[in-house]
Amino acid sequence: MSKMVGGISQEAKPVDDTVKEICEKIRSELEGKIGKKFEQFSPLSYKTQLVNGVNYFIKVKVADNEHYHIRAHKAFSGEVTLAAHEANKSESDEIGYIQA
């Protein structure tokens, strides 16, 4: 499967060390934005989009039966930023594009 610039990957992938690291970097920023501390912050799967760097669309479990979908951007320089999030997701919800 080739990656098309600007296209989001079709299949969700299992979590790897890069995604775990991204989640560690953006957790406190997201908690600050929504004013809530999460019980846990465990990435379950993700999709990517090649842009000026890579957008990561990550499904994260934050509590029993509570999930968030997160869009984080990782620049080619390595800098990671939180771009957007969606709350009230279930474990079975498919990851899609998340608007800012």
Q: Are 80 and 72 in contact (CB under 8 A)?
A: yes
Q: Where are the domains of the chain?
A: 9-89
For the domain made up of 9-89, the CATH class stated in words is alpha beta
Mean per-residue pLDDT pooled into runs of 10, the chain (100 residues): 65 96 97 95 97 96 96 97 96 92
Select from 45, 86, 91 the least CA-distant residue to 64.
Answer: 91
CA dist., res. 57 & res. 69, Å (int) = 7
Residue 68, burial from CB neighbour count under 10 angstroms (0-12, 13-18, 19+): buried
Amino acid at 66: E
User: Which residue(s) pair with 53 in the sheet?
Assistant: 51
